[in-house]
Amino acid sequence: MQFSSGTALLDSIVLSLLAKEDSYGYKITQDVQEILFISESSLYPVLRRLQKENCLETYDGEFSGRNRRYYRITSNGMIKLDNYRREWIKYRKKIETVLLGLNTVD
């Protein structure tokens, strides 16, 4: 599996954030935007796709008299995140070798 800077990167960031704590869409968007730019409207399709892939599940919680939809990572999501993390390490080593002129031993 090749680690690309598109879907895989965004998925891995979302899964990593949710591995730390359950969260809701707007907060996830704010957290992701601290790392890379993404519009709120772009994030919700990602959340729906990850949910469809059984990587996330949702539940509703009350907040200030309103329902808020929370996202939680599943065991399948943790497996996918672990795979992304392993791929990231390989990818990072390749990039560092080129950009920083490092010699790596695999």
Residue 2 lies in a domain: no
Query: How many C-beta atoms lie closer than 10 Å to residue 74's C-beta?
Result: 17
Looking at residue 88, the DSSP 8-state letter turns out to be: H
Q: Are strands 66-73 and 23-24 parallel, antiparallel or unpaired?
A: antiparallel
Q: What is the DSSP string of 21-84?
A: --EEHHHHHHHHHTTS---HHHHHHHHHHHHHTTSEEEEEEEETTEEEEEEEE-HHHHHHHHHH
Tens digits of residue pLDDT in 62-97: 888 899 999 999 999 999 999 999 999 998 898 889
Q: What pTM did the predictor assign?
A: 0.84
Predicted local distance difference test score (pLDDT) of residue 106: 54
Residue 50 lies in a domain: yes
Tens digits of residue pLDDT in 15-65: 999 999 999 999 999 999 998 888 878 899 999 999 999 999 999 998 888
Query: Into how many domains does the chain fold?
Result: 1
Residue 1 lies in a domain: no
